[in-house]
Amino acid sequence: MTNSRHLVLYSRQDCHLCDQAQALIEQVIAGSDWQLEKVDIDSDPQLTELYRFTIPVLARIHSASAEATTLNWPFPPSRIKDLLTD
């Protein structure tokens, strides 16, 4: 995904909190040009090690630097909106 408005939701299968987070994020970004990519942390050992105890984690990828700003669950809609405007 090369869109400069790129969000990543780090999650795993059968994670009800991840499903709740995804639904909330999709509500917040509906009608905008933000794109959400869902990444299963179990597909990559490094991601599993990094996020196994903190999923769901929402990351905003900054296109200019490829760095990310993250939010750990729980995050209310206001925190998601703040992340989008940073």
- CATH code of the domain covering residue 48: 3.40.30.10
In a domain, 79, yes or no: yes
Bridging pattern class, strands 35-40 and 67-72: unpaired
Virtual torsion, Cα 56, 57, 63, 66, nearest 10 deg: -120
Q: What's the pLDDT at 1? A: 44
Q: What's the pLDDT at 61? A: 85
Query: Domain tally for the chain?
Result: 1
In a domain, 78, yes or no: yes
In a domain, 1, yes or no: no
Which residue carries 């999709």 as its tokens? 26
In a domain, 12, yes or no: yes
Q: What's the pLDDT at 3? A: 54
pTM value is: 0.90
Q: Which residue ranges of the chain lie beneath pLDDT 70?
A: 1-3
Enclosing domain of residue 78: 6-85
Q: What's the pLDDT at 65? A: 72
Q: What's the pLDDT at 63? A: 74
